[in-house]
Structure 1
Amino acid sequence: MAKKMKTNVAHTDQVPVNIGISADDRAKVATELSKVLADSYTLYLMTHNFHWNVTGPMFNTLHTMFMDQYTELWQALDDIAERIRALGHFAPGTYAEFAKLSSIAEPTSVPSAEEMINLLLQANEAVARTARSAFECADAVNDQPTADILTQRLDVHEKTAWMLRSLLA
């Protein structure tokens, strides 16, 4: 018989967290960060998929660009998940949890190179919107470490979106 999945914001309850942010506020921030993690992981997977499957005249450029992007995303995933843990909550870590939390729809087939660029543009903008919302939550409860992570993520995703948009011009 299958066990019920615990929610991603369950408190670890082993040793109390006393970092100057209330338990309720830490739960709110962890919930928002879990959405950022889910969007980031979905974008990572999409970008890696496109790296493997891109074809056409821009193959080498896109293959290399996508590798740079998914490598940066892979490293960022750890920072986001570890911040959720530092707040005293478990980070989501399954495809089912990510699918439930993510705002990004994954493609159901292998798109053309131009459509890959467009889908990654839209997905980077989606992560930026999710990160901006999470930033507002972190800022409201005076959570500077989370706000710092989110500011860095906003910078990366907005710059990546600009670069992808430039390829479509």
Structure 2
Amino acid sequence: MDVDDIICIGKPYGGYDLFDDDRPADLFDRLWHPPSKKALLDILDEFGPRVVMTTSWLRLMERDGFESLFRRTGLELVAASLHSKWEAPANMGMTRHDAILKWLWANYTGEQLVVLDDDVSGTGLRGSKLDKLGRVVFCEVGVGLHVGHLPQVRRALVGGAS
């Protein structure tokens, strides 16, 4: 799961606000886009998937930072759902697709999967095998994850090909 343009659309706050010494008082109440937060919680409630982070925020935070952030922002279920191998960072010269494939090669055990990303940061995902198998949900920049994505998420997590 990516963060930017999935659950954090930058309105009114974005990731950089987290690391500002003069944080807005309501940052933790308004960091996540409400429709995106609801859609993500619906997915977690319905399917109980393990979450693997693919976001650029991995350069700025460790697991405990993500867990704390999710708990402070009403996404306790995300914190509790982080996979034991919780991160798939894109190292220098890697696309997001490369990072996800590297993670899958090392950790995948056949469970259903879905990738939540966007075209801007989800480099290499459009047209990939994962995309062609219906495993990538592309969220629109500035809009984020929403209930309209849930049918595709359900197909990926219920009956899609492994």
TM-score by length of 2: 0.29
Structure with the largest fraction of helix: 1
Structure with bigger strand share is 2
Structure of larger gyration radius: 1
